[in-house]
Amino acid sequence: MKTIRTLFGSAALGLALGVTPIAGMAETPANMLVIANRIDDITTLDPAQSFEFAGADVIRNIYGKLVNFDPANLDAGYQPDLAESWTVSEDGRTITFTMREGVTFQSGNPVRAEDAAFSLKRAVILNKTPSFIITQFGFTPENVDETITVDGNTLSITTDKRYATSFVLNCLTATIGSILDEKTVMANEVDGDMGNQWLATNSAGSGPFTLASWKPKESVTLTANPGFYGGEPAMKRVIVRHVQESATQRLMLERGDVDVARDLTPSDVEGMEGVEGVEVVREMRGRLMYVSFNQKHPELSKPQVRQALKYLIDYEGMENSFLKNWYVGHQNFLPKTYLGSVDENPFSLDIEKAKALLAEAGVEGMELTVGVREAQERLEIAQSLQNTFAQAGITLNLEVGTGKQILGKYRARELDIYLGAWGPDYPDPHTNAGTFAYNPDNSDEAQATGLLAWRNSWDTGGLTEKVAAAVVEGDTEKRAEMYHDIQAQFRETAPFAVMFQLIEQAGVAEEVEGLSLGAAITAASYWNVTK
Amino acid sequence: MANFATETERRPWLPLPPWARGTLVTLSSIAVTMLGLLFVTFLIGRVMPIDPVLAIVGERATEEQYNAAYRELGLDRSLAVQFFYYVSDVLRGDFGTSLLTARDVSSDIARVFPATFELATIGILFGCILGVPLGVIAAVRRGSWIDQIARVIALVGYSMPIFWLGLMGLLLFYGILGWVGGPGRQGIFYEDMIPSVTGMILIDSLIAGDWGAFRDAFSHIVLPASLLGYYSLAYISRMTRSFMLEQLSAEYITTARVKGMSEWAVIWSHAFRNIRVQLITVIALSYANLLEGSVLTEIIFAWPGIGSYITTALLSADMNAVLGGTVVVGLVFICLNIFSDLLYKVFDPRSK
Amino acid sequence: MSMTSQTPPSSGGQSLRQWLLSDTPTSRRQARLSALYQGWLALRQNHMAMVGLAILVVLISIALFAPLIAPHDPFVQDLANRLQPLGSEGHLLGTDSLGRDILSRLIYGARITLYIVALVALIAPVVGLLVGTISGYAGGWTDVILMRITDIFLAFPRLVLALAFVAALGAGIENAVLAISLTAWPPYARMARAETLTIRSSDYISAIRLQGAGPLRIIIKHIWPLCISSLIVRVTLDMAGIILAAAGLGFLGLGAQPPSPEWGAMISEGRRFILDHWWVATMPGLAIFAVSLAFNLLGDGLRDVLDPKDSAS
């Protein structure tokens, strides 16, 4: 040990002479925002294809949308952005947007209704994974020319049925609703890909920032758009650097090398308390942590067994220890702050009750396998489950793998139990209702791999119809009521134990003001940040 | 070590001069090895239960979208056909597109390999400059306290889990003392400031004439490079000692000593001179190992090198990236081996 | 010394030591045992090697008697009592993120480490020996093909090969062992081939061949024994690398699976707390270090004794 120290000591000492001034000047420039974050999930920055958290953060700061959330007031819901106003037709199927005048793209081209139409049609035609957010309103590559139309400065979209207007507009705030510069994008088209390949690494938006570079697993650099219609952002450059480890992020923040650290574990947040110049920002996000039980398993399909397992989870113990201030107990599929969300959390660890239920079902000890993604907090939750399940005579084996490995099995309905997370795709209750409690065809042939209920082979016991009814209900209060009802039944009968909702804890240098992480409804925004 | 030269003895049927035949044989064995390397990697990619399609389409994809991506990747063709197409593309210099980074594998490698190259080169320099003298001294003073210390230094190097040492080093020298730069290749202030010419920031910043950027990059590389250097130091110093001991016990050394030659001359111009070739082989081997990219070091120091590139690609079944990376690493390895084999032939009196 | 006997002496007459140190062994067995004993004597002179050996003996006893020594069950969680510092009551080395006793986990983890080391040490050198000797003895196309395969595996990035293998077969100790063996055998094969080449043409082997011995018999009975000593040295020196590789796989989450107290996985779990609860990752780090060092010290000592290159003095 000692020898290494001396060795490194002498090596470092020699260098320190030349290096110290740099290391000492540890402060980021006043017009530059530097963020440490895990961004290795970005695989493309094309808004019609991107579907990851880090990608959503980047795209929200580059592209304008028809309607958008104001980072200074997220509670206000969607607000006019590139569309100045809109009207709804009498039958409720057609929404007509009037475009804001005088707005230009970063290329200098004006933002026209044609660009908006192009962007939505493009999303439908490309048919990438997130396209369902738009196509669920009945748009198909065949009918987009009739259903999405332009008249002078207005854009009209016609849905196949009458939906709650708020539902449609909320969907347009998602990443896929970004408005692209048609001329720039089509100038870069290759083999009829509508610019898909070019947009993966370039930007053509009208938002507050332009993409300067994206180096995979390394960094994303944004530069301010001086022509932004909302005023040029104070931060001339925003750099998001990929830093994998929480401890490293914290070191960088404490040393002043970054302004924001976004993936801090509870222990690092705790350890940072009292450190000068750094504060912790907490925002409730939309992501839920849940376990689900495959209904193909003969024992797990028994209602008592499902109930019993829900009593075998140490919700409180986890929330107060390794998940402290990071995940908060939440046992419903609609995240807090969503329309129709409820705060009922009836389950808690109760070994005796679980044993009784298991006995009632005639189950005496069994062996189950849970699929877990390789991530430390999930491994800990899994080990806690292992521990409490064992107390009722259930052996729980862990199958750990990379996200893709485990996900592949989950989608193929091959796992007994899955421990996973789910984040809403757009800020409307249907985003989660439509996957947790909706499964019109439970057969293997249906291959509805996108639906969580299908992945767990659950026929939803009548919830499918209720969810379908709720989504077309125009009256907001009535609609909320319907979701309360659905969730009550879901909690008791579903093969899902929703356990926690995420609270994002970001360490932020104290001079940074105006940073919004997006709460439960959208992604982060940097354009209001000042230092 | 690869022994590409051995086949030369038995191939009399080629009507070529010996040197040309040798070259031909060497080249063909490289080709065979590379093809084998590709094939094994390709097989691994196909038997792995990781779904490359899921990596692109993501969790929410419908079956139809999944199938479209599956066809787009050409996965519906038979394995042999896929392999054939891949190899013929590679021969035309096209390594395909990476699923994870949405760009050409060759441009990805042009970005990540210089990072590893820079780190490995500084590491090996560190290892040689300290390791060789340490080994020589240990051999000359065999059994003395200096030999013991050298032994401990080396063995500790062999024994330390690098990920632990890396974390601790970062904590101490960056977190507490603030002597070195943090994780990553350069300070964020310099991000995108230096035009990339060689991809090696140390050199690029010199080309740009930016001293500040150079010092910054140096402060970032010094810790991971010394860690890697320490590992090669351990190996190099032990091997140097062993080679030197062999030479020092040889008769000609005794003769030289009897003749009254100074000890310094005996050691450096006789014994050390004779171990040069062996030593270069050893150094080449540990250099090759460093150039593979130390995955763990790269993860801990957020170093965007080829090791972590291949690893993440592998874990997402991004096979074009894995294959491309493996080809580069394999080529480097083979070239270094051939280089040291050549040295043997040129310098080693016994092989003449 | 003229008084020699065919068998190890019983009590009285000549001591075992004398018999072993005899200059004129009368049987093959005596000669072999004598060589071993002299080697042991030489090794004993090497203090560092003895330190290494001592550590390993301690490790093996710890692993054997783990249930008796460990103060706690290594799997029992206590969320209310997590991340206790060193020397806290009842937990000498503190507790981890789930409130498990770190000392007990280290003690049980010794079993896993030994298990991995033993298995790899059985598989890799044997495969290498087999490939190398066959290649060297047979020559010709067999040699070309086998050596080309060896080159392919050598040219592969090692950790990547192991990772790929584990990813293909699924994470777990057994697969980690196989993966590490897969990357570890080629150097042994090269070494064994080189030795075989020098032995093959010796008069001694030619004589045996003339007596009508088949190639398999020659390889197994006459070539293997000659390769063994350098192989043992190499294996011992490689042990540390094997432990580190296993720990590296554990660190990446591809080795032993939770809740198994594998040391590398423990570091990986503990690294999140490295700034405030440094011991959680440091204790398993030190354990890995100590064991690797022990193997290296022993291997280094063995090399001095067995490897003719180094023993010249």
Nearest CA-CA partner of A81 in A55, A63, A57: A63
Are A279 and A73 a contacting pair, CB within 8 Å?
no
- Give dist(CA A143, CA A124) in Å, integer: 10
Cβ separation B54–A408 shorter than 8 A: yes
Q: Kindly report, residue by residue over A436-452, the tens digit of the pLDDT.
A: 999 999 999 888 888 99
Can you state the angle between helices B18-47 and B319-347, rounded to 10 degrees?
150
Is residue B45 predicted with pLDDT exceeding 80? no
Specify the CATH number for the domain of residue C281.
Answer: 1.10.3720.10
In a domain, A516, yes or no: no
Per 3-state DSSP, chain B is made up of helix, strand and coil in percentages (nearest 5) of 75, 0, 25
- Give dist(CA C27, CA C7) in Å, integer: 9
Is residue C311 predicted with pLDDT exceeding 50? no
Tell me, what's the pLDDT at A13?
Answer: 37
Encoding tokens for residue A194? Answer: 């509508």
Dump strand ranges (E) for A176-259: 209-215, 219-224, 237-242
Q: What is the mean pLDDT of each run of 10 residues along chain A (531 residues)?
A: 36 38 56 91 91 91 95 90 94 94 94 96 93 93 94 94 90 95 95 92 95 90 94 94 87 90 89 87 93 94 94 94 91 93 94 94 90 86 93 90 80 91 91 94 89 93 93 89 95 95 93 91 92 87
For B323, name the nearest residue in chain C, comparing CA atoms only: C156
In this complex, which of C75, C98, C257 lies closest to A384 when CB atoms are compared?
C98
Q: Kindly report, residue by residue over C242-291, the tens digit of the pLDDT.
A: 888 887 787 777 777 778 888 888 888 887 787 888 888 889 989 988 99
Helix (H, G, I), strand (E, B) or coil at A363: coil
In a domain, C20, yes or no: no
- Which amino acid belongs to residue C83? L
In this complex, which of A12, A404, A450 lies closest to B316 when CB atoms are compared?
A404
For A53, name the nearest residue in chain B, comparing CA atoms only: B58
Q: Kindly list the partner chains of chain A, i.e. chains with 3 or more CB atom pairs below 8 Å.
A: B, C
Q: Find all residues with CB under 8 Å of B277, minimum gap 6, and list them.
A: B343, B344, B347, B348
- Give dist(CA A474, CA B65) in Å, integer: 31
Topology adopted by domain B124-176+228-351: MetI-like fold (1.10.3720)
Tell me, what's the pLDDT at A7?
Answer: 35
Specify the CATH number for the domain of residue A64.
Answer: 3.90.76.10
For C156, name the nearest residue in chain B, comparing CA atoms only: B330
H or E element in which residue B240 lies = helix B211-248
* Predicted complex: ipTM over 0.90: no
In this complex, which of C97, C257, C269 lies closest to A398 when CB atoms are compared?
C257
In this complex, which of C148, C252, C300 lies closest to B33 when CB atoms are compared?
C148
Per-residue exposure over B109-125, b if at least 16 CB sit within 10 Å of its own CB, e if not: bebbbbbbbbbbbbbbe
∠ at Cα C304 (C300, C308), nearest 5°? 130
Tell me, what's the pLDDT at C9?
Answer: 52
Q: Residues B319-336: what's their mean pLDDT?
A: 86
Q: Find all residues with CB under 8 Å of A225, minimum gap 6, and list them.
A: A106, A206, A207, A208, A209, A210, A232, A233
Cβ neighbours of A320 in C, within 8 Å? 79
Tell me, what's the pLDDT at C309?
Answer: 47
Q: Kindly report, residue by residue over B280-301, the tens digit of the pLDDT.
A: 888 888 888 888 767 888 888 8
Helix (H, G, I), strand (E, B) or coil at B19: helix
In a domain, A361, yes or no: yes
Q: Name the residue with higher pLDDT: C280 or B192.
A: C280
Q: What is the DSSP letter of A201?
A: T
- Which amino acid belongs to residue C115? Y
For A237, name the nearest residue in chain B, comparing CA atoms only: B189
Encoding tokens for residue C309? Answer: 């290159």
Per the structure, the count of domains in chain A is 2
Are A164 and A88 a contacting pair, CB within 8 Å?
no
Count of pairs with CB atoms under 8 A, one residue in A, one in C = 69
Cβ separation A15–B230 shorter than 8 A: no
Tell me, what's the pLDDT at A6?
Answer: 36
Q: Which residues of C touch A (CB under 8 A)?
A: 75, 77, 79-80, 82-83, 97-99, 167, 170-171, 253, 257-259, 268-269, 271-277
Cβ separation B161–C264 shorter than 8 A: yes
Encoding tokens for residue C144? Answer: 């070309």
Q: Kindly list the partner chains of chain B, i.e. chains with 3 or more CB atom pairs below 8 Å.
A: A, C
For B245, name the nearest residue in chain C, comparing CA atoms only: C310
Q: What is the DSSP letter of B173?
A: I
Q: Name the residue with higher pLDDT: B194 or B112.
A: B112
Q: Find all residues with CB under 8 Å of B20, minimum gap 6, and list them.
A: none
In a domain, A163, yes or no: yes
In a domain, A166, yes or no: yes
Cβ neighbours of B322 in C, within 8 Å? 160, 164
In this complex, which of B100, B181, B309 lies closest to A23 when CB atoms are compared?
B181
Cβ separation B173–A12 shorter than 8 A: yes
For B291, name the nearest residue in chain C, comparing CA atoms only: C157
Is residue B351 predicted with pLDDT exceeding 50? no
Is residue B350 predicted with pLDDT exceeding 60? no
- In a mutational test of the A interface, the residue from B125, B186, B189 whose CB has the highest number of chain A CBs within 10 Å is B189
In a domain, A94, yes or no: yes
Tell me, what's the pLDDT at A226?
Answer: 94
Q: Kindly report, residue by residue over C38-58, the tens digit of the pLDDT.
A: 878 877 887 888 888 999 999
Which band of pLDDT confidence, cut at 50, 70 and 90, is reported for residue B191?
Answer: confident
Q: Find all residues with CB under 8 Å of A234, minimum gap 6, and list them.
A: A31, A529, A530, A531
Query: CB of A263 within 8 Å of any CB in chain C?
Result: no
- Give dist(CA C199, CA C221) in Å, integer: 13
Tell me, what's the pLDDT at C1?
Answer: 40
Q: Kindly report, residue by residue over C133-149, the tens digit of the pLDDT.
A: 999 888 888 888 898 88
- In a mutational test of the A interface, the residue from B109, B176, B191, B315 whose CB has the highest number of chain A CBs within 10 Å is B191
How distant is the alpha carbon of residue A441 from its chain centre? 26
Cβ separation B61–A450 shorter than 8 A: yes
In angstroms, the separation between the Cα of residue B288 and the nearest Cα of chain A is: 24
- Give dist(CA B80, CA B125) in Å, integer: 44
Q: Kindly report, residue by residue over C226-238, the tens digit of the pLDDT.
A: 788 778 878 887 8
Domain of C124 in residue numbering reads as: 113-311
Cβ separation C274–A247 shorter than 8 A: yes
Alpha helices (H) in B160-210, listed in sequence order: 162-169, 201-207
Cβ separation B61–A129 shorter than 8 A: yes
Domain of A125 in residue numbering reads as: 44-202
Tell me, what's the pLDDT at C312?
Answer: 35
- Give dist(CA B200, CA B208) in Å, integer: 12
Cβ separation C164–B295 shorter than 8 A: no
Cβ separation A271–C276 shorter than 8 A: yes
Q: Find all residues with CB under 8 Å of A403, minimum gap 6, and list them.
A: A373, A374
- Give dist(CA A289, CA A329) in Å, integer: 9
In this complex, which of B50, B238, B333 lies closest to C167 when CB atoms are compared?
B50
Say whether both A71 and A190 belong to one domain. Answer: yes
Say whether both A324 and A459 belong to one domain. Answer: yes
Which band of pLDDT confidence, cut at 50, 70 and 90, is reported for residue B175?
Answer: confident
In angstroms, the separation between the Cα of residue A381 and the nearest Cα of chain C is: 10
Terminal Cα distance for chain C, rounded: 27
In a domain, A231, yes or no: no
In angstroms, the separation between the Cα of residue B247 and the nearest Cα of chain C is: 10
- Give dist(CA B48, CA A401) in Å, integer: 12
Question: Residue with structure tokens 């020298």?
Answer: B173
Tell me, what's the pLDDT at A23?
Answer: 39
Q: Residues C169-197: what's their mean pLDDT?
A: 85
Q: Kindly report, residue by residue over C57-87, the tens digit of the pLDDT.
A: 999 999 999 899 888 898 888 888 888 888 8
Cβ neighbours of A36 in B, within 8 Å? none
Tell me, what's the pLDDT at A493?
Answer: 93
A 10 A CB-CB count for A152 gives 9
For A375, name the nearest residue in chain C, comparing CA atoms only: C253
- Give dist(CA C2, CA C15) in Å, integer: 14
Sorted by where each begins, the domain ranges of chain B are 43-92, 124-176+228-351
Q: A413 burial class (0-12, 13-18, 19+ CB within 10 angstroms)? A: middle
Are C114 and C295 a contacting pair, CB within 8 Å?
no
Q: Name the residue with higher pLDDT: A287 or C217.
A: A287
Cβ neighbours of B142 in C, within 8 Å? 313
Cβ separation B188–A128 shorter than 8 A: no
Say whether both A309 and A456 belong to one domain. Answer: yes
- In a mutational test of the C interface, the residue from A374, A383, A397, A398 whose CB has the highest number of chain C CBs within 10 Å is A383
Specify the CATH number for the domain of residue A367.
Answer: 3.10.105.10
Helix (H, G, I), strand (E, B) or coil at B181: coil
Per the structure, the count of domains in chain C is 1
In angstroms, the separation between the Cα of residue C3 and the nearest Cα of chain B is: 36
Cβ neighbours of B62 in A, within 8 Å? 129, 132, 448-450
- In a mutational test of the A interface, the residue from B62, B109, B134, B228 whose CB has the highest number of chain A CBs within 10 Å is B62
Total H helices, total E strands in chain C: 14, 0
Q: Find all residues with CB under 8 Å of B130, minimum gap 6, and list them.
A: B229, B233, B237
For C290, name the nearest residue in chain A, comparing CA atoms only: A1
In angstroms, the separation between the Cα of residue A216 and the nearest Cα of chain B is: 6
In a domain, A208, yes or no: no
Tell me, what's the pLDDT at A12?
Answer: 39
